Structure 1
Amino acid sequence: MADLIDPNVHWWRNAVVYQIYVRSFADSDGDGIGDLPGITSRLPHLADLGVDALWITPFYTSPQHDHGYDVADYRDVDPLFGQLSDADDLIARAHDLDLHVVVDLVPNHTSDEHVWFQAALAAGPGSPERARYLFRDSPDGPPNNWKSVFGGPAWTQVDDGQWYLHLFDSSQPDLDWRNPEVPAMFEDVLRFWLDRGVDGFRVDVAHGLFKEASLRDQVVEAGGTPASSAHEMVERTISDEPMWDQPEVHDVYRSWNTILDEAGADRMAVAEAWTQTIESMTAFIRPDELDQTFNFAWLLAEWSAEAFADVITDTLAAVEGVGAAPTWVLSNHDVVRHVTRYGGGVQGLARARAATLTMLALPGSSYLYQGEELGLEQVDVAPEDRQDPSYLRTGEVGRDGCRVPIPWSGTEAPYAFGPGSTQPWIPQPADWAPLTVEAQAGDPASTLEFYRDALRARREFAWSAGEEVELIDLGTDVLAFRRGPLTVVLNCGTTPVELPEGELLLASGPADGGTLPVDTAAWLR
């Protein structure tokens, strides 16, 4: 539908972006771990699915304590995933298929095996090498009361007595962004990957680069405990966050905006910014900063027409104020898959498909997570197979269940995830044979074909339907809205509802006779 594309509108404003968790997408060499050649071999699946871009989680040199989010070298590929030429081949093949490539950037922290941190340990207190990180003296225990997102104190003591800050795992020391060497290094990293042809960056922990310079204690109510993440602060209504969302971070993104613009008008960046309000979220996407930020409010909303309506209204009002486009997402590598969040089983899948169809009708970009097009649920991974550092630190079930490698074909594991017959790095369930790409392809009732149909229909209006959304009152349990020629109805109630007049274009489940069943969404024209 190239004739519908406005050349003055950037590609990402209405894109569907498919997230690839590199370890779990496709394995080319039989070691049970996904890699870059594996991704390249499966790019036709994404083209057939109908997405516009792929976002790849970190594939850089790393000891893999946090599965790539602990980076030891930002300018190379970890041998586990291939080599630099494999990244070049992937980018070129994706572009041949008209797919844009977004890569993950991890600027809040490095690996403790990064050459800078190793130099900091060797150089000792007061050295320029230590000044790249947040080392502090504190003879009586950790320098403040901050908690790691992965559990436990956010400080680790080294042999000479100093402590270093790590808001995540102890193998991920936080950088000091007030040291000019740090922003300079990342500007070079941006240029390195832009020169290799990437179309954009997903910025990990975009709200976390700067901490209050004093590194003071977090203020908590009497008898309370410090919160360990911005998400937890929101849930517990803790407003004091000296470790997150400091105003200086926006100067970084203004400088990155210039670098991206110099590389070409088609380059972009999207922030992972867990902030306390939708207004603070949109500060990251002012015209001279980043292009998009993840809208986690849609992901966090309960199954409720009212909750969804509130997110739509608040989001569109907020992004309009800065001239940006919204984003929508239901699952990623850090959260429980939305089929399971919505109840699992038949009901969970019906709700997941309905929420997806509703999301895809909204203006802005939609981000999909690998495997959701197959209807995958969260897997109950056996304790001996869990590898998430948050689980290893706390003993609480972490994120492994949404990271199980996806099934491609066959009747038993590894379902053509890679050559050979051995289970991948996280074992796949024995009952996944009906969920493979091969099993679902061509079945009009399958979730895979539903996604293909929905993405095909979306392309017919995404660039032409405009950005205005008008909510329609069809009852308290029904979310309904118009966007240009499209009317969208989502039934969150307990009884079927009458559909408004119009041609039924697509439904997430059976919708015959002018009525919409429960846990179902429909598009009408």
Structure 2
Amino acid sequence: MNNFQDKVVYQIYIKSFKDSNGDGIGDLKGVTEKLDYLKELGVDYIWITPFYASPLNDNGYDIMDYYQVDPLFGTMEDLENLIAQGKKRGISLMTDLVFNHTSTKHEWFQKALAGDEEYQKYYIFKEGEFGEPPTNWVSKFGGSTWEYVPHLKKWYLHLFDKTQADLNWENPKVREELKEVVKFWRGKGVEGFRFDVINLISKPENFQNDTIGDGRRFYTDGPKIHEYLKELVKDTGIRELMTVGEMSSTSIEDCIRYSNPKEEELTMCFSFHHLKVDYKNQDKWEIMEPDLIELQKIFRNWQLGMQKGGGWNALFWCNHDQPRSVSRFGDDKAYWLESSKMLATFLHLLRGTPYIYQGEEIGMTNGYFISIEEYKDVESINYYQIMIEEGKTKEEALKILRERSRDNGRTPMQWNQEKFYGFSQVKPWIPFGKYEYPITAEEQVGKEGSIFSYYQELIRLRKERSAISRGEITFFDETPGIIGYKRRNNQEEILVFCNFTNQDLSLKTQWKKDDFFVLLQNYVKLEENGKRNSLRPYETLVLLAES
């Protein structure tokens, strides 16, 4: 197995990264144009969200042809050139594969609808009773997970949108089809794969109503998931590539199995428990302040649990499905600079592989849209209607969307102060965020003290310091609001302290002042090494001791 511990991945949401042809939508040539920017940042891989042929009902996660580049994003030649130009700069490409479901526009599903029984077995069609769906499961996007097809007198399963039909992994033909997809893209020079909601592919043998939940307990980390992953990896020869699984509502125990090299499944896992600490009553659409005690507990449990079991974490705050971290866990106004850097420090010095989401390295914030017409995300639009039907006012529903919508992470990348922020020559497919001050890459690249330069330093430290890339981790019992941990490897020891509040807080942990010096911090450099007993609002302090 290759060593990925000192690598850093940059996620590109292609529609919003860079438009090269003036249609208001980001594309593959736009990514190629910005490879020098990514090289300067220092990343090793770029993960690009789906660029395959798609109706784009779920922004490309509804694939209708796994082998074709959607004309909206360019051509196969554009992709091949991107891969080649990336390799010249030491940057590998990771692609996004959606294997839990296809678009209902996919040829397989269209044949199923036409009555082809062979292709009906590619999906999960069931008969209901008394006009009711086969189960009472709730879709991730709201409503039932079942859609009725009158002329077939059957329902098909869709854990997400009704235009995303779940594939039947019990069918060996389906598994063989998907292996061929992996081999095809590997042959194109792709060197990493991110598997979308991959831990949902194994469905239960018997479908039944969920009397205590929404159904997810029956299909999350399902009965044959590890068998399926081992088969996929073995038969496609991707064990030596970087592979990451998006694991919905998963467990530490399963993620150890997914990512422990001895299991020969995946390189690492995304888990999302830390991004639910501001869900009131575990409901995404009910907001509250982040529970920092719970946040610390989750990181501690996952870091120590995965370490003990030999698993490996994919580390992230933001992605195309999440609000911006500085707006969520920091302060995007009074302490925008400090909290952006603190959140980056906390994440990048943990045990695991860090993922930077486009714009995170310049401190992009939530979009703060003011009307429902500005939203493009199918989930947001669905839940807006659900909230209105439940009795919320339009302003109450919009306030929740401003905190929760996936579109917060999908506003276009802001490159410079030109019209349309250098993203495009025309009005983009989705509005820009509404900021109180300018946030652009041009203002930060090469500027001392900028968030961009801070990210460069974090990436450099991971490559230079084995305590960060390979060391063990332990946590301190700190003042509530401060999370502190230690990384250690051989003769190197690093202490990390992060204040997640807008208050001055005292440090409980003590260290021999002369043994440590300041390696990194987000406020002005200190004159005296390590002599601190408190942290300022959103301050982070990183101390190094070398024997």
TM bucket (normalised to shorter chain) is 0.7 to 0.9
**Per-residue displacement from partner, 1:276-326 (whole Å, max 9, x unpaired)?**
432233232242211110132444457677545433432233223442322
Residue 391 of structure 1 aligns with an amino acid whose one-letter code is: S
Aligned to 1:444: 448
1:504 aligned to 518, 540, 544, which one?
Answer: 518
Q: Deviations over 1:120-176 (max 9, x none)?
A: 01116xx12211111122251211101111111111112312211111111111111
Larger CA deviation: 318-327 vs 402-411: 318-327
Q: Select between 199-208 and 507-516 the one with higher mean Cα deviation.
A: 507-516
Alpha-carbon offset, residue 38 of structure 1: 0.6
Instruction: Assess if the C-alpha contact under 8 Å between 1:331 and 1:337 holds in 2.
Output: yes
Contact 2:55–2:105 (CA<8 Å) still a contact in 1?
yes
Unaligned runs of 5+ in 1: 1-8, 221-225, 231-240
In structure 1, which of residues 353, 356, 366 is the aligned counterpart of residue 344 of structure 2? 356
**What is the CA deviation profile of residues 264-286 of structure 1, one whole-angstrom value per residue up to 9, with x for unaligned ones?**
x6413111012343223323224
Residue in 1 aligned with 2:150?
159
Paired letter, 2:121: A
Q: Could you tell me which residue of structure 2 aligns to residue 140 of structure 1?
A: 131
Q: For the Cα contact (< 8 Å) 2:204–2:223, is it kept in 1?
A: no
| Structure 2 counterpart of 1:269, one-letter code | T
**Matched residues in 1 for 2:372 and 2:358: separation?**
23
2:118 to 128, 139, 142: 128
Q: Would the alpha carbon gap of residues 122 and 477 (structure 1) be closer, same or farther in structure 2, given more than 3 Å must change? A: closer
Instruction: Evaluate the alpha carbon distance shift between residue 466 and residue 174 of structure 1 in structure 2; reply closer, same or farther with a 3 A threshold.
Output: closer
| Residue number among 240, 245, 268 corresponding to 2:221 in the alignment | 245
Q: Could you list the per-position Cα deviations for residues 380-403 of structure 1 after superposition, in whole angstroms to 9, with x for gaps in the alignment?
A: 233212111113333263311210
- The SS at the match of 2:179 is helix
Q: How far apart in 2 are the matches of 1:214 and 1:299?
A: 31
Structure 2 match to 1:518: 537
Once structures 1 and 2 are overlaid, which stretch shifts more, 364-373 or 345-354?
Answer: 345-354
Contact 2:256 2:312 in 1 (8 A): no
Q: 1:110 to 1:162 in 2, by over 3 A?
A: same
**Gap runs ≥5 in structure 2:** 279-289, 386-400
Equivalent of residue 336 in structure 1, options 323, 346, 364: 323
Secondary structure of 1:18 counterpart: strand
Q: Which residue of 2 aligns with 1:4?
A: none
Residues 24 and 34, structure 1, Cα contact 8 Å, conserved in 2: yes
SS at match of 2:137: coil
Q: Are the structure 2 counterparts of residues 52 and 301 from structure 1 closer, same or farther at C-alpha, using a change threshold of 3 Å? A: farther
- Code of the residue aligned with 1:387 in structure 2: it is K
Q: Check if 1:408 corresponds to 2:409.
A: no
Structure 2 residue aligned with 1:20: 12
Residue 491 of structure 1 is matched in structure 2 by: 499
Looking at structure 1, the residues matched to 380 and 536 of structure 2 have their Cα atoms a distance apart, in angstroms, of: 40
Distance 1:159 1:82 in 2: 37
- 1:76-122 Cα shifts (integer Å, max 9, x gaps): 10000011111111111111111121110000100111000000011
For residues 34-53 of structure 1, what are the structure 2 equivalents within 5 Å? 34-53=26-45
Task: Report 1:306-345 matches (<5 A).
Answer: 306-342=293-329, 343-345=331-333
1:423 corresponds in structure 2 to 427
Counterpart mapping for 1:285-304 below 5 A: 285-286=259-260, 287-300=263-276
CA shift, 1:415, in A, is 0.8
**In the TM superposition, what whole-angstrom CA distance separates every residue of 1:339-377 from its partner, at most 9, and x where no partner exists?**
111243234653342121021112220111111111111
Q: Is the 8 A contact 1:434 1:440 kept in 2?
A: no
Alignment-mate amino acid for residue 417 of structure 1? F
Q: Measure how far apart 1:459 and its partner are.
A: 2.3
- What SS does the aligned partner of 1:469 have? strand
Amino acid in structure 2 at the alignment position of 1:520: E
Q: 1:176 aligns with which of 147, 165, 168?
A: 168
TM-score by structure 2 length?
0.85
Q: Secondary structure at the match of 1:54?
A: strand
Is contact 1:298–1:329 with CA below 8 Å preserved after alignment?
Answer: no
CA deviations on 1:237-262 (whole Å, 9 max, x unpaired) are: xxxx11322121111110122145x3
Contact 1:209 1:249 in 2 (8 A): yes
Aligned 8 A contact 1:305 1:491 in 2: no
> Corresponding residue for 2:98?
106
Q: CA RMSD in A?
A: 2.3
Q: Look up the match of 2:247.
A: 273
Q: Distance in 2 between matches of 1:49 and 1:355?
A: 17
Q: Alpha carbons of 1:183 and 1:463: their partners in 2 closer, same or farther (altered >3 Å)?
A: farther
How much has 1:54 moved relative to structure 2?
A: 1.0
Are the counterparts in 2 of residues 308 and 479 from structure 1 also a CA contact under 8 Å?
A: no
Q: Secondary structure at the match of 2:298?
A: helix
Q: 1:463 to 1:471 in 2, by over 3 A?
A: closer
Specify the code of the residue in structure 2 equivalent to 1:337: R
Whether the aligned pair in 2 keeps the contact of 1:28 and 1:38 (CA below 8 Å) is yes
Distance 2:375 2:100 in 1: 25
Asked if the contact 1:388–1:400 (Cα under 8 Å) also holds between the matched residues in 2, the reply is yes
How many Å separate the matches in 2 of 1:512 and 1:384? 48
Q: How far, CA to CA, are the matches of 1:340 and 1:289 in structure 2? A: 35
**Residue type of the alignment partner of 2:415:** W
Distance 1:430 1:318 in 2: 40
- Match status 1:227 vs 2:201: no
Which of 202, 205, 218 is residue 197 of structure 2 equivalent to?
Answer: 205
Q: 1:390 to 1:480 in 2, by over 3 A?
A: closer
| Mean CA deviation greater in 394-403 or 464-473 | 464-473
* Equivalent position SS for 1:254: helix
Contact 2:133-2:146 within 8 A present in 1 as well = yes
| Count of residue pairs brought into register by the alignment | 494
2:176 maps to amino acid: A
Contact 1:326 1:364 in 2 (8 A): yes
Contact kept, 8 Å, 2:6 with 2:462, in 1: the verdict is: no
Larger deviation, residues 490-499 vs 61-70: 490-499
CA contact (8 A) 2:193 2:242 kept: yes
The residue identity in structure 2 corresponding to 1:202 is R
SS at match of 1:181: helix
Moved over 6 A (4+): none
Q: Please tell me the residue identity of whatever aligns with 1:250.
A: H
Alpha-carbon spacing, 1:436–1:180, altered in 2? closer, same or farther (3 Å): same
| Among candidates 341, 365, 373, match of residue 384 of structure 1 | 373
Q: Which range moved further: 135-144 or 49-58?
A: 135-144
Q: How far apart in 2 are the matches of 1:521 and 1:405?
A: 29
Partner of 1:128: helix, strand, or coil? helix
Q: 1:65 to 1:432 in 2, by over 3 A?
A: farther
The 3-state SS of whatever aligns with 1:169 is coil
Identity %: 33
- Structure 1 residues 468 and 431, CA gap change in structure 2 (3 angstroms): closer
| Cα pair 1:408 1:437 within 8 Å, conserved | yes
